[in-house]
Chain A
Amino acid sequence: MLEIKNVTKKFGDKTALEDLSFSIPDGSVFGLIGSNGSGKSTLLRIISGVFKPDGGSVEIDGECTFENPSAKEKIFFISDYPYFYNNSTVESLVNFYKVLYPTWNDEKFRRLCGMFPIGTKDRIVNMSKGMQRQAALMIALSVCPKYILLDEIFDGLDPVVRQLIKKLIMELVSENNTTVIIASHNLRELEDVCDHIGLIHKGGIVMEKDLDEAKLGIHRVQAVFDNELEEDVLNSLNVVNIKRQGRMMLLTIRGDGQAIEDTLRSQKPVYMEMLPLTLEEVFISEMEAVGYDINNILE
């Protein structure tokens, strides 16, 4: 269990994270999403022990991660731009990490070498951005950590490798009960792999729940009514957004799907359909709710 307890982090006068609290159960794949500069990468750095929080703490299995090697042995962090020294090769990284992490698995590494098209003796800095990420991921997966933190891991990867990575992540979770935390703006990929979602905005948690629950908690309804919907009906629903196209209304409503459908059908719509929401739409809807939408930005 990874517990984030009242974590606050400030960079000078700016507050990157403010009193952030939530927990991630073991064996889950947690998608950390949020606007640019919301504090996703900062949170990953705090979890991995790179940054010291100004307040609160991060605990894994009851142990604080900061300055605690025994806790950090269970965590592997791949940052948004993995760092490699000029003369690093995959082989030299293996030599470095296999001593530092007691859970290192040589057999797994050999298997991964067969999967990724990367020469273990080649200088990593000469590789493409995508291949560098693959190299970092090979190391991370071979460590077999209990917690793996991936920052923008899908960036620069081709669709096939993205699929491979998602498969390997799922395999790691099923084999090791590893907890995976992925911070990304690529919500389409997250939707495939994540079972939990955390939405951060301006250093605070906007939403943290099971992905399905998140999706089920917000609904889009396309409907045509003979008459304008009464104010009372709209007020009885937790409407996040209304868009009109002629008589066609597109409503984004938070709440129980069945109750929403019942309420709207009671208004005798000419046409009504409950549309499924993608994670991206959930994200946009949730962000609109906290005032982060394109109209506000354009204003």
Chain B
Amino acid sequence: MTLTTSSNNKNFTKLLKWAFLRNKSIMIIFSVIMAVGIIINLYILTRLSVNYDKPGFEKTCGNIGYFSIILAQTLSILFSIASVSQTFSFLHNKRSTDMFGAIPATRSTLYFSHLLGGAASIALPFIAGSLIICLASCRSFEFVLLNFLAILFGLISIAAVYSFSSLIAYCCGTARDMGLITFAANAIYIGVLAISWTVVTLMIPGLDFESILYAPVLTLFCPMGFAYFLDIYYYGGQTAAFVVTIIWSVLFTAAAVLLGNIAAKTRRMETAQNEFNIKWVPVVIKVGMSVLIGGFAGLITATSFASGFSTMYVFTFWYILAGFAAFIILHLIFSKGIKGKFLSSLFAYIGTTAAAIILLFVMSTGAGIDTYIPMQSNISSVTFGEQNYTYSEPENIQTVTEIHKIITDGLKKESGNQYYIGSSTNQGQWTREIDESDYDKYSTILNTPFNFRYNKNFGFTTTRNYNINLYNLSFYDSQRMTELLLKLYNSDEYKKQNKAFLFSETSHSEDSVQLAYYEYNGRLTYDYEYYNGTEDYTASDTVELKKDRAFLDGLYAALREDILADPDFFYENTNRYYYGTYRYFGDYFLNLSVYSSAGNTDTGTYDDYLYDVSPSRNLVLSVNLTKNYPRTIAYLEANGYKINNEKLSKGSLL
């Protein structure tokens, strides 16, 4: 027994080395490509090194390293499939099957030694190359971690792709079938999902690509996508999707290895150079491809040649017709004629097609997806509306869900509980001509993007993006909608995000702090349908404030208090072209602007990267001072800056 075990281990090691060396040529090609990548990477880094003392340098280099490793992930996936084809070629050639079948090793030993030896031949160049890139590129722990994780994701992907392709290798009689089916299985899954999701998003309002991007279902049977989705989820902070995908990729790999071992033990070696060892593999591919082709044909014809609910019937007709034609053609290709497993394949195809059609008509009722709003207790924060700010205060979350409900109630009413392909982008009843007075009154609604992203407990995410115009004010409770939006946009959370420069905890660095009156120049440049691109206000009496630290800190403290107490913050301090500036401010308003070369104009926060990209000064804070800012006015006057009260805005629009 001991002798046998020792002999098995010895044989395992020998076969592992053999499998590793069998991939010598693939390993060399992969290594050469990696080396070229490293040289290009180092060249770019050397060119960038002239900016080594700039704050954005670290981030630029780290990102170059990160994206280089993502490129290496792609190469490693492609080379993994080539390597599996080479490593397990003994399964697909009658003569080599004789050689390997007769050697004194169990089929499990053969399988595991070849799996590990082959995978190592791809993993080692990948690790070595990626580590060199990482060490050359990363100058901060943050990027070292990011790059290391990208390497880890690459390894997870190699393991998953290698084990899955090996399983397919044992199911197939030829290397050609193995390669085709490995790619087809991945492509069919993603393809069917993409077609299905496109159909659903065309039916049910609010759903779009983003709604499924963070759903781990995307990666369920797509091992070639594991690394990319892990990159996306980690980079995008999608904790739940990331954790689920990590766990799933490990489980998937383990299952593929387990099934591979079973396939190895039960393989009929005589299928080499011949037929499929596992008969249902081509059936799955045939049915999957037919569904994909049918779905594509149905989608194109339904969206091109039909409207209203008839799109459903047009889709169904072409889905069946094109799908069945594809099925017959694929069967002829796979079986070299109508024979063999035709009937069982046909039943599988009919069953899948029938299930898909039933599902399609179930979805036309909305299936609860159209009205789904997460329960407040499950929401940790929500990103919504103007500027896509994130709200985590329960009161604000409730406000957002209430806004969402007004939308879903309206959509439900309009659809009459019957969606069809194209109904999500065809909310005719929501649109109508609107007069100018209504526009001013409801400009908040009309300029709000109705994009909801619920960050739920345990890191899950639900998104709904409504591409609709809410111009038909009578179709929903527009009065209530406006109240809710203004409530949200005047909340502390909104204000703190809108004036991030003031409320962030980082120390400030200003190039210039200016106080200026803005005077109406007689050209009302914006109404709801016309903008001529010229300024309607001209700056005058600009004063450069002193950059004394204590003075500025005091000014910021006063501003913070005033902003939080300002009941009209939204009208006063958002994009003035949208909200009837002149009607609100009148002939004058006072503005305080802070510029910083290390700041981000859009977010008001500091961004090192910008320094590298655009070293010019950026506007990081702009506050329109009205009578709602008494503490700030008083502070400025106390510090010797005379404020003309006549030129402060009147402070009321509505």
Contact = CB atoms under 8 A, between A and B. Distances in A.
Interface of A: 11, 45, 48-52, 67, 69-70, 72-73, 75-77, 79, 81-83, 85, 96-97, 99-102
Given A73-B7, A76-B102, A99-B11, A82 B107 contact: no
Contact of B102 (A11, A70, A77, A99): A77
A69 B108 CA distance: 11
Given A72-B102, A73-B7, A67 B14 contact: no
B interface bracket (residues with beta carbon within 8 Å of A): 20 to 34
B139 interface: no
Interface stretch (B262-270, B445-453, B504-512, B540-548): B262-270
A79 B95 contact: yes
A70 B7 contact: yes
B101 A69 contact: no
Nearest to A74: B104
Contact of A67 (B4, B102, B265, B268): B265
Given A72-B103, A101-B104, 9 more contacts: A50-B269, A69-B11, A72-B104, A77-B102, A79-B95, A82-B99, A96-B14, A99-B11, A100-B104
A76 B103 CA distance: 8
Q: Is the interface of B mostly helix, strand, loop or mixed?
A: helix
A79 B94 CA distance: 10
A83 B269 CA distance: 15
Contacts of A77: 98, 102
Nearest to A77: B102
A95 to B, nearest CB: 9
Most buried by A among B101, B103, B270: B103
A73 B104 contact: yes
A69 B97 contact: no
Interface string B1-36: 000100110110010001000100000000000000
What 5 pairs across the A-B complex have the smallest Cβ distances?
A50-B101, A83-B95, A79-B98, A72-B104, A77-B102
A99 B98 contact: no
A45 B96 CA distance: 12
A100 B11 contact: yes
B152 interface: no
Given A82-B99, A99-B11, A51 B104 contact: no
A52 B104 contact: no
Contacts of B95: 79, 81-83
A100 B105 contact: yes
A64 to B, nearest CB: 12
A99 B14 contact: yes
A99 B104 CA distance: 10
Interface of B: 4, 7-8, 10-11, 14, 18, 22, 93, 95-99, 101-107, 109, 265, 268-270
Most buried by A among B8, B96, B98: B98
Contact of A100 (B4, B97, B103): B103
B104 A83 contact: no
A76 B102 CA distance: 7
Given A45-B98, A51-B101, A96 B18 contact: yes
A11 B274 CA distance: 11
B270 A70 contact: no
B195 to A, nearest CB: 36
Contact of B104 (A69, A79, A96): A69
B268 A69 contact: no
Nearest to A67: B106
A266 B130 CA distance: 96
B25 to A, nearest CB: 9
Contacts of B265: 67
A72 B18 CA distance: 19
B431 to A, nearest CB: 64
A69 B102 contact: no
A60 B95 CA distance: 24
Given A70-B104, A72-B102, A100-B103, A83 B7 contact: no
